[in-house]
């Protein structure tokens, strides 16, 4: 396992950014020493957070950007995604596992982030939303 210095990227609000972020997450997870299954989960969580930021937060606006950063701190891989949108209340998202929501087309992104990460935090920014994804690095 290699401890990497924090890395930050400013990205456009596009699907291409979502795809790039997914690849970056896979690489960061590999550098941190995660196995293949964990890397898949981490990159999926980042993909879902980026979709939230790009689509729901920034509305694909060319005037708004997403900031993505990777850090290893205190034995954790910490990934932070910030958008410039109106703000997200994660508590307002219906439970996708509830019977009345199971067959809905959307609403599973946050659930998947929580399924694959050890901790997911949401913070309101002025403006925007910050999502922090945390996964304990193996051996810590």
Partner 1 sequence: MSMKASTRQVSGVTIVDLSGRITLGEGSVVLRDTIKDLLGKGNKKILLNLGDVSYIDSSGIGELVSAFTSVQRQGGELKLLNLTKKVHDLLQITKLYTVFDVKDDEAVAVGAFSS
Residues at the contact surface with partner 1, assessed by CB under 8 A: 15, 18, 40, 44, 47-48, 51, 55, 96-97, 102-106, 108-109, 111-112, 115
Beta carbon of residue 90, minimum distance to partner 1 (angstroms, whole number): 14
* Of 48 and 71, CB closest to partner 1: 48
Question: Cis (ω within 30 of 0) for the bond into 41?
Answer: no
Q: Contacts for 104-113 with beta carbons within 8 Å, 24 or more apart?
A: 109/48, 109/49, 109/51, 109/52, 110/48, 110/52, 112/44, 112/45, 112/48, 113/45, 113/48, 113/49
* Of 33 and 40, CB closest to partner 1: 40
Beta carbon of residue 102, minimum distance to partner 1 (angstroms, whole number): 6
* Of 97 and 126, CB closest to partner 1: 97
Beta carbon of residue 51, minimum distance to partner 1 (angstroms, whole number): 6
* Of 109 and 128, CB closest to partner 1: 109
3-state secondary structure of 34: coil
3-state secondary structure of 126: coil
């Amino acid at each position: 396992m290699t401890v990497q210095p924090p890395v930050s990227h400013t990205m456009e609000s596009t699907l291409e950014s979502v795809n790039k972020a997914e690849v970056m997450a896979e690489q960061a997870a590999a550098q941190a020493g995660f196995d293949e299954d964990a890397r898949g989960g981490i990159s999926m969580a980042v993909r879902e957070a980026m979709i939230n930021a790009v689509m729901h937060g920034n509305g694909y606006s060319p005037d708004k950007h997403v900031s993505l950063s990777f850090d290893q701190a205190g034995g954790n891989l910490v990934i932070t995604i910030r958008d410039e949108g109106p703000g997200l209340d994660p508590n307002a998202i219906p439970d996708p596992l509830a019977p009345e929501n199971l067959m809905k087309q959307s609403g599973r992104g946050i659930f998947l982030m929580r399924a694959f990460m050890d901790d997911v935090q949401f913070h309101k920014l002025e403006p925007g939303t910050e999502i922090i994804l945390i996964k304990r690095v193996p051996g810590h």
